[in-house]
Amino acid sequence: MSDDLEKQLREALRHVDPPPGFAARVSARTQSEQRHRWLAARHRWVPATLAASVLLSLLVAYGWQLRHEREQGLAARQQLIEALRLTGEKLDLAYRGVQDASKPTVPPDTGDT
Amino acid sequence: MTDGDACSLCDALARARSGDAAAFTTLVRRHQRAVYSLALRMLSDRGKAEDLAQEVFIRLHRKLALVQSETHLLFWLRQVTSRLAIDRLRREPRYEQVPLPEDLPLAAESSSGDPLLQQQLRALIAQLPAAARAVVLLRYQEDLDPSEIAQVLEMPVNTVKSHLKRSLERLREQLTGEAAVPAPRTDDAPL
């Protein structure tokens, strides 16, 4: 019975053909996958380039920002120096004016002595 | 397979490894029946079997560099097909409860046995647990001995023998006890 069952199992489990066009479908899928892999390998540098570009842009922007701030600082310093110079001149003028005003007035010489 | 066929397949393997698409198609044509039949009898669904068989060959295409010989190729195909099928059966347990299909004999192939009994056997095998089903299919469909099955499925030889013994007992019981066998459906295509 066992041998008979095993024989029947072998008969029942014979190989069957896959649906028509199976090999062609596998071939199409492998070729498509190969193309994708090739494209992925070919464009592997794109993300790295994008990342490098973004990093470079950030560095340039940061450098520009630093330079701009330094220039603004220098301009402000110049303005402050100019303002102090003008203030000094005005104070000097005012001081002279005050000094002139506080000088005793000499009466005009009448020639009596 | 003659020596000439074997040599042509070795050549096809070597050419496929170097990227020859036509040679790879030759390999697919040579092994498609074995891979598809194993997938079909494991999953009991033609669409899913084709999908699985295609996946096996796609994986083979990626791993061709690792395949050393025609014997290794056959071993690799059986191993990957069995593993993928078992994984799918475990992921989707509904596969375990397949109805008995109306399993007509293939017109193109002559059969020396009882077609109705064979149809019943295929339906009963489809009801075995995944690992036991793989063992039975590798034993009687692929004609591997228990030690080879143990290598393919990476399980101890004693486990393989135990699966075989229990599966044969179960099949024998179900064949002799008519009440245990549900009535076959009439609307499915043969497997």
Q: pLDDT per residue over B114-168, tens digit each?
A: 788 888 999 999 999 999 999 999 999 999 999 999 999 999 999 999 999 999 9
Is residue B187 classed as helix, strand or coil in its secondary structure?
Answer: coil
- B31 CB neighbour count, 10 Å cutoff: 23
Domain's final residue, options B68, B97, B126? B97
Q: What is the torsional sign of CA B27, B28, B33, B38?
A: positive
Q: Are residues B82 and B118 in the same domain?
A: no
Domain's final residue, options B97, B118, B147? B97
Q: Are residues B3 and B92 in the same domain?
A: yes
Q: Are residues B76 and B137 in the same domain?
A: no
Q: Are residues B109 and B180 in the same domain?
A: yes
Residues of B (103-162) whose Cβ lies below 8 Å from A: 106, 109, 111-114, 117-119, 121-122, 125, 136-137, 140-141, 143
Indicate yes or no: pTM above 0.80.
no
**ipTM surpassing 0.90:** no
Q: Are residues B4 and B93 in the same domain?
A: yes
State the CATH number of the domain containing residue B182: 1.10.10.10
- Return the residue of B nearest to A14 by Cα: B141
Nearest-neighbour CA in chain A from B28: distance (Å): 6
State the CATH number of the domain containing residue B78: 1.10.1740.10
User: Higher confidence at residue A102 or residue B190?
Assistant: A102
Asked if A5 lies within 8 A of B191 by C-beta distance, the reply is: no
- When scoring A3, A5, A9, A34 by the number of chain B Cβ atoms within 10 A, the one with the most, hence best to mutate, is A9
Residue B16: pLDDT band (50, 70, 90) is confident
Alpha carbons A69 and A47: distance in angstroms, whole number: 33
Judge whether residue B96 has pLDDT over 90.
Answer: no
Return the percentage of chain A with pLDDT > 70, whole number. 90
Instruction: Report which DSSP code applies to B188.
Output: S
Helix B130-140 with B70-91: angle, nearest 10 deg: 150
Tell me the helices (H) and strands (E) count for chain B, helix number first: 8, 0
Residues of A (7-66) whose Cβ lies below 8 Å from B: 7-19, 22-27, 29-31, 33-34
Residue B147 tokens read as 């030690």
Helix B21-43 with A22-42: angle, nearest 10 deg: 120
Is the minimum CB–CB distance between B57 and chain A shorter than 8 Å? yes
pLDDT for A39:
79
Alpha carbons B54 and B59: distance in angstroms, whole number: 9
Q: Are residues B108 and B166 in the same domain?
A: yes
Instruction: Report which DSSP code applies to B103.
Output: -
Asked if A13 lies within 8 A of B125 by C-beta distance, the reply is: yes
Q: What would the mean pLDDT of B1-26 be, rounded to a whole number?
A: 76
Judge whether residue B31 has pLDDT over 80.
Answer: yes
Judge whether residue B174 has pLDDT over 50.
Answer: yes
Each residue's pLDDT tens digit, B55-74 = 999 999 999 888 888 899 99
Domain coverage including residue B36: 1-97
Q: Which of A12, A16, A23 sits opposite B28 (nearest CB)?
A: A23
B159 and B177 Cβ atoms separated by less than 8 Å: no
Q: How many domains does one find in chain B?
A: 2
pLDDT for B186:
37
